[in-house]
Chain A
């Protein structure tokens, strides 16, 4: 069953709106980018190489990890394993958007995924739970974050010394707080809460006992398994807002 016409149409106005909506969080991404730029030049990358890496990789945690493994030479297999493990959450994030992404042509679908990152995905996935289809935030918000990441890296490689201790300002917690706010703003049915408890426990166990960087995928799959075996009453009703969402204001 291959659809010949794809029903998902981008609205330019909405893309622009989402660009500006994610600008505030992008300011914090500039600070992260600066921290990365500084770390990269300290490890011996040329400024342009650091900026190139931010532009093409566009995945902060894995870039920091890669830079950590830098020396006069870099072992290939450990590098690939670490980058893959840290970024493997993208596999699940992309999969979760598939019900919307299948409604656009493969060319657009995969181009859009180049801009997939935690913050814009969190917004899109959260709105999908509430029955809204918002891939515009992946594009508009993704461009805002991507630009901020590059600008930040650029600032870091040239003026990194100015940003002495981002941790003392709490800047290292921006993404964590953002993702938590997104999670709590979403659907909180009993089923979701059980899935969260399972995800929390398994991710902690994986973090403690499994090889590094596997905890996100392990926790998320364990949480997803709850959804797989515990179906909500109405089957197949993507996009219907349920009354129980509103329980705990």
Chain B
């Protein structure tokens, strides 16, 4: 099944993408409202929350170029040293830009 990208078709597609996204925004909270929050569930939620971040970042690092890897390493080092997010992020972005400008590659 497919939709032609006429004006009406595009509006329908946007509505569908929006609906699917809203389902993901609401779904987890909706399902949780049927769950009793025991200490075990709470522990699951808290560990899962920071694992989301790691699960986004790790494949990003492994699939990225030398610039992306440099960005993540510099961010991590500055963040662990200073605990200040903004300098860490700025340092990471600058590292990506510099490494790419210099044309460095991994290996």
Q: Which residues on A are within 8 Å of B, measured CB to CB?
A: 24-25, 44-46, 49, 52-53, 56-59, 62-63, 66, 70-77, 79-80, 83-84, 87-99, 101-102, 109-110, 113-114, 116, 118, 122, 125-126, 128-129, 167-174, 176-187, 191-192, 195-196, 198-200, 202-204, 207, 215-228, 230-232, 235-236, 238, 248-249
Contact = CB atoms under 8 A, between A and B. Distances in A.
Contact of A167 (B24, B29, B100): B100
B52 A89 contact: yes
Residue of B10, B55, B71 with highest tally of chain A CB at under 10 A: B55
A231 to B, nearest CB: 5
B57 A183 contact: yes
Interface of B: 1-5, 7, 9-11, 13-18, 20-29, 31-33, 37-64, 67-68, 71-72, 75-76, 79-81, 83, 85-86, 88-89, 92-97, 100-101
A182 B85 contact: yes
B65 to A, nearest CB: 9
Given A84-B20, A173-B71, A176-B68, A183 B93 contact: no
A76 B54 contact: no
Nearest to A182: B53
B17 A231 contact: no
A224 B45 contact: yes
A216 B25 contact: no
Contacts of A63: 17
A45 B102 CA distance: 36
In terms of DSSP, what is the predominant structure of the interface of chain A? helix
Given A195-B47, A223-B51, 6 more contacts: A80-B20, A95-B29, A109-B29, A172-B96, A192-B50, A228-B43
